Amino acid sequence: MSTGDFPRRNGISSPCVDICVIHPEARLCTGCLRSIDEIAAWGRMSETERQQIMAELPARGPLTSTRKGGRRGRMSRG
């Protein structure tokens, strides 16, 4: 996804997909992959700053992926 593919909300480019859950270890929103600080400051940022952050978001995806196996997976099934 290129930065041009992000929707605009109230005239502001935004990666928000209305799935607002903060990943406990990565401390990123699992929907848009922004940090809480980035989300809070988003409306005050310049379009250039927003585009720069949006360009970094795809690389953050692996930070929020969770393993399905291991001890935690077994415990949740039992």
pLDDT band for 2, please (50, 70, 90 cuts).
very low
Is the residue at 74 inside a domain?
Answer: no
Instruction: Quote the domain boundaries for residue 18.
Output: 3-65
Look at residue 72 and tell me if it is in a domain: no
State pTM to two decimals.
0.70
Segment 17-27, tens digit of pLDDT: 999 999 999 99
Q: Within a domain: residue 77?
A: no
The answer to whether residue 12 sits within a structural domain is yes
Tally of domains within the chain: 1
Supply φ then ψ for residue 13, to 5 degrees. Answer: -60, 135
Mean residue pLDDT of the chain comes to 82
How does 35-50 read in b/e, with b if 16+ C-beta sit within 10 Å? eeebbeebeeeeeeeb
In a domain, 75, yes or no: no
Q: Is 76 inside a domain boundary? A: no
Model pLDDT, residue 65: 81
